[in-house]
Each structure stands twice: as C-alpha cells, then as structure tokens.
Structure 1
Amino acid sequence: MRTLREAISQVSAPGEVFETRERAGVREFLHAPESLRDIYDGARGEEKTFLVFRDESWSFARVIEEADRFSGALVNELGVTPGDRVALLMRNRPEWVVAFAAVTGLGAVAVALNAWWSSEEVDYALQYSEPRVLVVDEAHAGLGVRLARPRGIAVVVVGEVDESIVDESGASRYRDLLTRRHPAPTGRPRKEDLATMMFTSGTTGRPKGAVSTHGAITQSLMAFSAGLFIEALRQSERDHPPSEETTLILLVPLFHVTGCIPVMLSSFTWHFTLVITTSWDPEEALRLIARHRVTHVVGVPTQTYDLIHSPSFEVADLSSVARLGGGGAPTPAALVERVETRLEHGRPNLGYGLTETNAYGPQNYGDDYVARPSSTGQTPTIVMDVEIRRRSGAPCATGEVGEIWVNGPTLFSAYWRHEEATREALVDGWFRTGDLGYLDDEGFLYVVDRTKDMIIRAGENVYSAEVEAVLEAHPRVARAVVVGVSDDRLGQRVVAVIVARRGENVSAQDLEEFARQHLASYQVPSEIVITKDPLPMTSTGKVRKDVVRRRYF
C-alpha cells in the first residue's frame, strides 16, 4: 500500500486534475473553479437525480432552473445586489439548496442561520449580519416575520403557511416569486468575493460569523475530492470500493459547515445523489441507507453510536456502505473498533475540520484509522500544513502538546465585524484553531482538548478529552462530559457528568475506581454525576459544556 505522501505526490503531479502550486506561502490547487457559479453551471441540464427528500426526487436540472428563477427574483423584486447578505432560516429541505445556489451564484453572501436557535439567538444573528432578505420555512415563518419587519428585512416564505402571516406582513411566497420567471443575473462572482457566513458552534458564548470567499470554498471542495482519489490509491484488502453509484445521506444540518460543504456541495460538484433527512432518527436513517443504497454516511460520532447500537442494525442492509463516520467532535476509540468489526464492508473515517477551514483538514480512514483510532489523520495534507505551537508561538517538539495551527487555501477570511477576534485567530496566514494536540513522529495529529476546555488543577494540566475517553471506555458508559469548576484551594477541580448506556446502571464509585486504574490521581474527577437526561448539545453534535457546568455544578 502506498504511503500518504506517495499518493499525494501522484495525485497532485503536474498535468493532473489536482495539480498544486505554491503561491504566497500557501499550497493551492491550480485547477480549482473560480467560483461556486462554475460548479452550478456544470450541473446545468443534468437530469440525474441530485436530491431525494421524502417521496420527491429533484434532478440537478430542476435545482439549477429554480435557482436561476429565484436569483432573478432576489435581484429584480427584492433589490439584492452582489455583496448583500441573504439569510437562510430553514431546516434541511431541497429549497435550502436552491436558495443557497441562487444567493451565492449571483454574488451575494449566504448567511446560514441555525434552525434550532431560540428567538433571542435568531434576533441577535439578524442584528449582527444585517441581511437584505430572510428566507424561512413554514416552521419559522411567524418568527421570521416578527423579527425581520422592524429591521426592514424582506421575508420570503418557503412551503405552505397561514395566509394571514403572508398577507399581513407583506412577505413574499417563494413559489410566487418563481412563477414570475425573472432572468438569472449574468454577472459572475470572483474567487475573492465573499460567498458564505457560517456561524461557529458557540459552545462558550455568542457564535461568530466566519465569512469565506468563493475561492476558499472551491479549494476546500477540491481538497475533499482529492482525498477520495488519495484513499483509492491506498486501499487494502479490507476496503470495499462502492459497487453502486456514489450516494450520500445528509444526517447533519445544511446550516452546518459539514452538511453544506463536504456533503451538499461535494454532491453538487461531482453529481452525486444526496438523500436528505430533516431530523435525527437512527431507525429511519438505516431504512434510507438500505432503500437508496447509500455509500457514504457522514455524521457526528453520536450518530454513529446510535446507528450501530440500534435494534435494527443487525438486520439492516448496509452492504452498500463504504464509509461511515464524519467529524464535528472527537470519536471514542471504542466506537472506531465497533464500526470496523460490525460493518461487513464499510470502513470508519474521521475528518478534522472546522467552520474556519471550510470543514477541511487532516483525514483518518481505513487501516490508518483502525491502527491509530485516537488520531485525526496524517499531516501535512495535500494543501494543508499543520504545526503545534507553544503559547509563545514557538514550535513544539514531537509528542509535545500545544495549540494546533493550520495553514492552507481553505481558510475563512474573517469573523464578521469581530476585528480583534480575527487578528487573534489569523496570524501571518496561519489559523489558530484553539484546539490542543500533538504530532507523532510520522506526522499523525492527535487532538487532546480545546484550549478553553483544559483544566488546570493545582498547577497540573488536565485534558478533559483524555479523561472523557477513559470514562467512555467503561462498558456501561455511553457518554462522559468532563469540565473544570472553580476551587478556592486547587484553582479548579475536575468533575464529570455520565450518561449510562441504555438498560445499564453504573455508580459514581464504580467509575471513580475505574478511572483510578487508568489515570493519574489529579486527573480523576472529584465529583461524578449520573444522569438520564439528554445532554445539552449544539446542532453540530458538540456538548454545551457551559450549560453542563451551570446545570450540574
């Protein structure tokens, strides 16, 4: 089997589709599309099925035709011009994809609002991003109208909604706008033009809007695509090349960078079929995977856990699945082993990407992942360099924990209207991720914690992710969350919240004894709370540790 570096050299060689070049200290793809408009144009007239939603099938041609009409309406009826912001507040559905293509295709900025936010959070995001138009679905129509009208934001409602909401507010119906058949704008975005505003997860406070250019996003799409070719060159006997056409299933929200870029936009780029789900139901997901012969299952680790522990898992037809995994949060090592052993053909995979990298980063897959389940993949990648640095900015030694810095063409441009936060995060072309990790002697990256999640107990650094991994290795534990709380004597003390596996009971004493077998004494939680309540989560599968701390301690 080729090494990663050998495969990268072959895929990125001169004359190849994924040929790379060095420019201004950044390694980038030479043949990346100029803008997302080029990707949309490549799907124009394609009758192959693009989106599967409930009992509907949408071809690429239909999506492009509706996007053309909607972009024409945005310009001619609602006054949208290139550079304006248009906010999308919808759950997963085909019209989200259409609206995104319409907005970014005409050169405006798609502001992806979290459809699970409270009214207060949506209100903040509208005040913060100042969109010219807000596009909402039926579930958010009343809220959208109530919050947008005082700010002079035009509202477009998708789907069936109470007539009074539209008539009394002056909102536009999406379908009515399409029937007027305005011509699509002829102007084309440039690679340096802003395309998206994606919000950070906000596990510790108000989310920030990370804005990215067309060029950064198309570079990210090229990087994900190159990864598939690199993996194909490195397959072992255990790998199962899909015998069906590549089909993805959307298990995460489109307003999240993973759902938008590596899942939806990659499908748009390569004309893959995408099966859309609106809410998380592992039983329904298994049925859809079997029915539509899904080859790539991308989600968060919690979803992987739910799938393989579903009562239907043993009888479900998953023979089409070639890859199962995703990103968004660390994956317990035990879960990697379960995927490898329980799937007949599929292999586990993990991606380390962030909103600020347009979801791209090191990838771990197959044999490498099984051999190093705690790693997020080998570095450098085809277009991303990774360094571990101390607080001073000096490089760390091999195996030394420090902050993860990344450099590459997929990075975001700025945090919208957060100049100080942008200066702190982007330093001389490098992005400070805020994650703590280390590199081994082969360049494999290990993420051990968030900088803000590290606990300092009596001068000793405690990495919450390390303690969580130990606790989750207990056979009766489904999920562990470790946080630090203030202590007059120690500065901070280590505490944990535990969710037991379904049908299992576990005591705090049992877990403390188990932890002492695997951890230093200062790492063992001084207080362990067992709960049956669902943990507070972000829409991207990350635990809200600030809420955990307030709720339990």
Structure 2
Amino acid sequence: MTEPTHPYQPRHQPQDKPAFVMCATGEAVTFAEIETRANQSAQLLRAQGVGIGDHIAIVMENRREFLELCFAADRCGVYYTTIGTHLTEEEIAFILGDCDARLVIASDRYLPLVQGAARASNCTLFRVGEGPQDVPDWAAAAAGMPRTPIADERQGLDMLYSSGTTGRPKGIKWPLPQDAPGGRTMLIDLLTELFGYAADTRYLSPAPLYHAAPLRHAMVTIKMGGTAYIMDRFDAKGALELIERHKVTHSQWVPTMFVRLLKLPEADRLAFDLGSMEMAVHAAAPCPHDIKRKMIDWWGPVIHEYYAGTENNGFTAITSAEWLIHPGSVGKAKLGHLHICDEAGVELPIGETGEVYFENGHQFSYHKDPAKTAACTNAQGWTTLGDIGHLDDEGYLYLTDRKSFVIISGGVNIYPQETENVLLSHPAVLDTAVIGVPNADFGEEVKAIVQLMPSVASSETLAQSLIDHCRQHLSPIKCPRSIDFKAQLPRSATGKLYKRRLREQYWNR
C-alpha cells in the first residue's frame, strides 16, 4: 500500500478551527472533534464486521453526524451510499439491496421510513437521535470506541445513486483506491485547481448533503483545511444573510435557486454585503440565459458554471468572462476530451447537434448493471450521460437537453429547455416544465406545466398570455399548445426536475 504524499485529513488541520458549521443551529465542529468522532465511528464499523470494500448507507437530513460518518467511511476503505430523504420506503429498500449495504444509519426523523426497508434488505440498522430502544444508538455505541485510528486504514469512496429523473436510480461505482486515506485524489486535484478551495475557504452549501456535488465539495473544502457552512434547507434571503455574516468566499447553487434569489424583493436582495464572495459555482441543470446574465450583473464575475454527472466521466467549466463571450455554453473540457456523436456513436462535425461523449474520463460502472454501463459506451470506449449538445469551433460545449426529454412532434425534434427558458422569463412564472403529451395526429404535442409566483392566480386568460409570450420568442412548433398549473413541480433538492413523474400523469391515462 502506498503512503499518501499529501495528507488531506482532519487530523492534519488546525485542531481548534471549525471544520464545518450547521447554520440552522450554529453548532460548530472543530477539526479535532471531527477527527475523534470519525475515528470512533470507523472503529465501530470494524466492530460491526464492515470491512474494506463493504458498503454502508446513510439516510438523514443535513446534520452534524452526516459528515462525521462520511469521514469515518472515507478512512476505512468502505463504500458509503447517501440516500435521498425524499424517497419512499420501497425506493430506499431497493437502494439498500442493490448496493449490498451491510449497515444503514438513519436519523430519528427518517427512522420510520428506513426500518421496513432495512428489514426487507437484511441490513443492520442504527439510529442517530431519539428513537426506540430496539434500534441501537450509533452515537452511544461509537462513544465507547477508541479515539485512535483503526489499524487497517484505507481510502474509502462514496457510491452514490443517480437522481432517477429518467428512470430507476443507478449506483455509480468507481474502483476503490489502493492507498491509505488522505492522499491526493482526482476530485481534490480537479476542484482545487478550478475553484480554488484552500485553507482560507468559507464554503456555503445550501443543498442536501446526500447529493453528489454538495457532499463532495463540502468534503474537499474540509480536507483542504477550509470551513463548510451547511444550511439545513435552502432559503433565498437566509442564504444572503449567511454570506454576509460568515464572509462566505465560495458557494454552490442550482438554477432554481438563482431564480428564487432574483425574485426576492429588491430591498431584500440589496440589503446584504456579498463582497466576500470569490466563487459562486452552479451546475446540475441548464441555466436560462437571462437568469445567468442577471446574476452576473448582480454578483459580478464570480459566477462559475460546470457540467458533470455523478459519474465524473468528464467535466467542463466556464468562467463569467468566458460565458459573456460564449453565452449559453457550459465551457470547455477540464476532465476528458469532448465528442459529439450521432445515434450510432459516430462522431459528428463541429456545430452539429448530437449526444455528448467524453473520452479518457474517469473510470466508472453502474453497479450490478453491465448492460447500462455498456449502453453509455460507444465503440471507441467514449462514455455519455445521455445529454444532447454541440461544440463550437473553439471547443465550447452547448447543451440542448437530455436525450430522454426530447419531444418528437410530426417527426420534428423539439428540445423543451428552450421553451422552459422563455416561460421562466415571464414575471408570473416561478417554475416550469415542458413535456410531450399524446397527440393523435403528430404523436406528441408540447405541453407546459407551470408553477406561478405566490401572488399570482391561475386562469385561462393567463394560460393564453403565457402561450402568446412563447410565440413572441419561439417558432410555433416549440410553443406549448396547452398549459396546466400546479402548486409545486417535482424537483429534487438540487433542482433536478423529475419529468418522468410528470410524463406518467399524461401517458398512463
């Protein structure tokens, strides 16, 4: 086993400095405290028979124990799967069984949801917080364990599941490193070089830690000696207040958060000093051009964007200055080499639209699904996440939409994102989804589902006004033929839209 040449572990950081702060409660956890608790949890994992290469799962809201458990698994060669708290008992049971979790730790808030799932998958269950005595308390059990590192430390890895926006979640598995924990990793190298995470970083995470980007960026911040500020849930005005109070330097967002920030009253938006921000990164979903331009106008050239998946088979990034020259682009490749291919996996010329592939990206596989792994790989060995886009002659990537979201009406491909962007520019619209619904003559027709601003009431007149608004900016074929209003659209906490759920309501009638 090779020794790490660059130690990135809490034990190597200033021990009295906060490693992370839970913003809702103000609870700060120092590097000394996370080191002790991670060691004790690692000792308990070994005592429970969890060995190198085994899997555990975590089901809890953003709370102190979440990151401590991740750091414990990270140092004992364990795959750890963080499970979304919005899932049903059946979905949780599927993931526990699919990832072969030996053990699952759930918070008291979600314990009732996890108990049946743990029984169904024959998985040992621990709780964090209050709960029935027949479910052992992880904190109490860990408190009796040694505070020293385990004898057989090994670098662990997350094994996260896709959000399931286009189908059943898929476990994304990377080869387990052969190194002791605390060495340089691909993620540390990539994120520190691109976004400047360092010992003086104060990183604000407004999203759930069970998602890939919030978890990985928070852990890299801590490993670099910075401090992560963890919100329990996103609140637009509250996020601005936290940036001012903690002099936040780095933050991460999704476009729906930008929309909500921009739709705050002007007095609220301008009430806070945001001058400490050096880097505001956004990803996870396409950002409407006018939304991004308004954010750059407001926050300045600190807005950075990247495109990647949980798979990390490739990575693109773009700065504010680049984006203003190449509006709509998600940047150039920073990991892997970009190709645009047709449906047969054959590369297309520059400027033509097709499926986005990466060459020489990070190796991954879909857990227990070799067919899915093979389906996203072409004959050249390049891999795709199923997104559609094109390259310009300078190598900048422009995303059009997901392959599975394309509407085919009368043989014509319609990309919903363009229509969604136009609808979001209307002052009455807070959120929207555009999907294809059945049409007897054309196969599909365009429908928009709209969530209105809280002060706006739905009506047939407003629906027609929104359709007219689209017709002012788009060709008729791209405009919705009908609009439905909903109180809330089904989005994950990181802003990904569950279009599959919406489509099922119209196609399964």
TM-score norm. by structure 2 comes to 0.90
Task: After TM superposition, list the pairs within 5 Å mapping 1:10-409 onto structure 2.
Answer: 38-40=7-9, 43=12, 46-53=15-22, 54-76=25-47, 78-149=48-119, 151-159=121-129, 161-162=130-131, 165=132, 167-169=133-135, 171-181=136-146, 183-189=148-154, 195-214=157-176, 218-228=185-195, 245-261=200-216, 263-311=217-265, 312-343=268-299, 345=300, 347-357=302-312, 361-377=315-331, 379-381=332-334, 383-409=335-361
Check conservation: 2:205, 2:228, Cα contact below 8 A. yes
Identity of aligned residues (%): 26
Deviation above 6 Å: which 4+ runs of structure 1?
33-37
Structure 2 counterpart of 1:11: none
Task: After TM superposition, list the pairs within 5 Å mapping 1:514-553 onto structure 2.
Answer: 514-531=469-486, 533-551=487-505
1-structure distance, mates of 2:427, 2:289: 13
Check conservation: 1:36, 1:104, Cα contact below 8 A. no
1-structure distance, mates of 2:456, 2:441: 36
Distance change >3 Å, CA 477–CA 141, structure 1 → 2: closer
C-alpha displacement of 1:405:
0.5
TM-score norm. by structure 1 comes to 0.83
C-alpha displacement of 1:325:
4.0
C-alpha displacement of 1:119:
1.6
1-structure distance, mates of 2:250, 2:447: 37
Check conservation: 1:158, 1:175, Cα contact below 8 A. no
C-alpha displacement of 1:376:
0.6
Structure 2 counterpart of 1:444: 396
Check conservation: 2:437, 2:506, Cα contact below 8 A. no
Check conservation: 2:39, 2:148, Cα contact below 8 A. yes
SS in 2 for 1:253: coil
C-alpha displacement of 1:131:
0.8
| Structure 2: gaps of 5 or more residues | 179-183
Structure 2 counterpart of 1:15: none
1-structure distance, mates of 2:3, 2:411: 50
Counterpart amino acid of 1:401? T
Counterpart amino acid of 1:189? R
2-structure distance, mates of 1:408, 1:281: 39
Of stretches 33-42 and 496-505 in structure 1, the one that deviates more from structure 2 is 33-42
> 1:310-357: CA deviations, max 9, x gaps?
2422212222122334111111111111112223x5632211111111
When the two structures are aligned, how many residues end up with a matched partner?
Answer: 493
C-alpha displacement of 1:446:
0.6
Task: After TM superposition, list the pairs within 5 Å mapping 1:417-428 onto structure 2.
Answer: 417-427=368-378, 428=380
| Structure 1: gaps of 5 or more residues | 1-32, 233-241
Counterpart amino acid of 2:462? S
Distance change >3 Å, CA 509–CA 299, structure 1 → 2: same
Distance change >3 Å, CA 441–CA 75, structure 1 → 2: same
1-structure distance, mates of 2:467, 2:13: 60
C-alpha displacement of 1:552:
6.3
Check conservation: 1:456, 1:491, Cα contact below 8 A. yes
Check conservation: 2:438, 2:506, Cα contact below 8 A. no
SS in 1 for 2:15: coil
Structure 2 counterpart of 1:24: none
SS in 1 for 2:467: helix
Counterpart amino acid of 2:293? E
Check conservation: 2:10, 2:223, Cα contact below 8 A. no
Check conservation: 1:35, 1:218, Cα contact below 8 A. no
C-alpha displacement of 1:535:
0.7
Superposition RMSD on alpha carbons, in Å? 2.6
